[in-house]
Amino acid sequence: MSVFLAVLSWLLVFLVLLGAVPLLAACYEYLLIGVHFRYTHYDLCRPWFPRTAVLIAAWNEAAVIGTTVDRLMQMDYPRDSLRVVIVDDASTDETPQVLAAKVAEYPGNVFHLRRVKGGEGKAAALNHGLALILGDAWMEALLIADADPIFQPTALRRMTRHLSDPDVGAVTAYIKEGAPTNYLTRFIAYEYITGQAVARRSQNVLGAIQCLAGGAQLHSRVNIEALGGKIDNSTLAEDTVTTIETQRAGRRVVFEPHAVVLAEEPGSIVGLWKQRLRWARGNVQITLRYRRMWFRPQPSCGLGSVTFGVLWFSLLLQPFFMIGDSACLLALYMVNGAVAWKAFGILWLANAMSFVFITVLTLLIDPATGRRTWAEGFMFSGAVNLIVMVAAVLTAPMYRLTAEVLSLAGLRVTHGWAVGAVMFIYAWQAGSMALAYLAKLIEPAPLGGVLGRVLLYTAGYGPLMCAVTLASIVRELQGAEAKWDKTEKTGKVAVPA
């Protein structure tokens, strides 16, 4: 029996420590930033201004589309090499009128295509415009953009220069949150440094880009024709399908970190949940669709490499790592409480070190955004996790501090209280996701805005994203209807002078 318990203890310790894999994978991603200067692709670039068609699908975008068109036409790019084609997907607001005014303002540059019957999703609307654009030989490069992003003046020419290398099929820009006006958009702004500026740079190094940003992706004509001249609409992640198919065909995809595009993101937890659920379900569909690609290295592209696979699945399976951690720690506590405490200490010391490395580097990579979002960066994992990480590093002082606080409060720690506290903290990894989900549920209620905010700062933005991923996997397994939920845009992106 004792041998069985010893083996069980070691197995549980192994499973607990396995929980550090996603954070260690993230640290590896961050380490690659240090060598990115060798993988910028600038040595194969030159000034290059192909005739570029900007394709935008718009449905009820009256609040934003006018500004977007204006900013596109003000870009530092030859006017005679730029056309903006907007597919109005049967909008019911003022979008047609706004577009008619823009067509008159920029004759020969702005084109308005009106679909009488809409609602078939973004890909269907894009394909409507794409068929027309490919119908003549004018277009040499295609920029697929959303209706709301604000392109910085140099963004397009910084992207097109990569197409001077015929091996490059597509280029993606650095999407930044353009209106960090409330706590949630500041969280998103911080997240975008990690998800865009960091992750995409590391993918440049690995030679495999995960996803061309839907709001700003540039394709060569050769690439878009090789993709069949249309955007895949069989999944909720048409951008990722396009990205993967481009690379599997042997054409390179490049992330250009200095081509900056500002986008408007949801300002409420409910809106964010809706948007991310769509993205996460798309990723689940992609995982299944390309199930024969993962962990099968190919010389033509890095998508099948072990490193890329570990990074992809670390994100996708992170909720299971968190639930597994909690479950294994609680089981280990039943088997051997002392070993459980030791394993917990090692895991959280690793978490704390990863957190410091990632947070400091994130704030340094994009200092302008970092100055506005540093508080959300430190609260990204939630207040409880932050306290546990501080305790993992400053163990002895935190013990003393806790004892003194309890003593001042006149409280005596009984065995029952100690057991309860330990079990709570072991279960917290899974519990934080549940609390983050509660923040989303409570937000629409009276005082829900304040309560939701308090819950989110307590649970953490990271656990909220994990809860979304878990929900997406559950909905996919249930075979729930996959419909296109548009994120509402209000035009609050701060337009740079």
Partner 1 sequence: MTAARPRCPQSERAYRTEIRRELRYEKGLAVKTAIAIVLVAALLLVHFYLFR
Site for partner 1, rule CB under 8 A: 30-31, 33-37, 40, 42, 45-50, 76-78, 80-81, 140, 157, 161, 163-164, 166, 201, 220, 257-258, 349, 352-353, 356-357, 360-361, 364-365, 392-397
Interacting residues of 397 by C-beta distance below 8 A, sequence separation 6+ = none
Q: Residue 42 Cβ, how far from partner 1 at the closest point, in Å? A: 5
Q: Residue 228 Cβ, how far from partner 1 at the closest point, in Å? A: 21
Look at residues 412, 407, 460, 463 and name the one whose alpha carbon lies nearest to residue 433.
Answer: 463
* Angle, helices 337-365/318-335, rounded to nearest 10 degrees: 150
Interacting residues of 426 by C-beta distance below 8 A, sequence separation 6+ = 326, 329, 330, 333, 340, 344
Nearer to partner 1, 50 or 271 (CB): 50
Nearer to partner 1, 81 or 458 (CB): 81
Nearer to partner 1, 103 or 346 (CB): 346
Nearer to partner 1, 127 or 160 (CB): 160
Q: Residue 48 Cβ, how far from partner 1 at the closest point, in Å? A: 7
Q: Residue 78 Cβ, how far from partner 1 at the closest point, in Å? A: 5
Nearer to partner 1, 59 or 380 (CB): 380
Question: Is 139 exposed, middle or buried, given 0-12, 13-18 or 19+ CB atoms closer than 10 A?
Answer: buried
Nearer to partner 1, 221 or 276 (CB): 221
Across 136-291, where does the E strand assignment appear?
A: 141-145, 150-151, 168-177, 216-220, 252-263
Q: How many CA atoms lie within 13 A of 122 on its CB side?
A: 21
Q: Residue 40 Cβ, how far from partner 1 at the closest point, in Å? A: 6
Helix or strand holding residue 82 (H, E): strand 82-88
Give the DSSP letter of residue 193.
I
Q: Residue 400 Cβ, how far from partner 1 at the closest point, in Å? A: 10
Q: Residue 464 Cβ, how far from partner 1 at the closest point, in Å? A: 25
Distance of CA 246 to the CA centre of its chain: 20
Rounded CA gap, 440 and 418, in Å? 31
Nearer to partner 1, 226 or 393 (CB): 393
Helix or strand holding residue 455 (H, E): helix 448-459
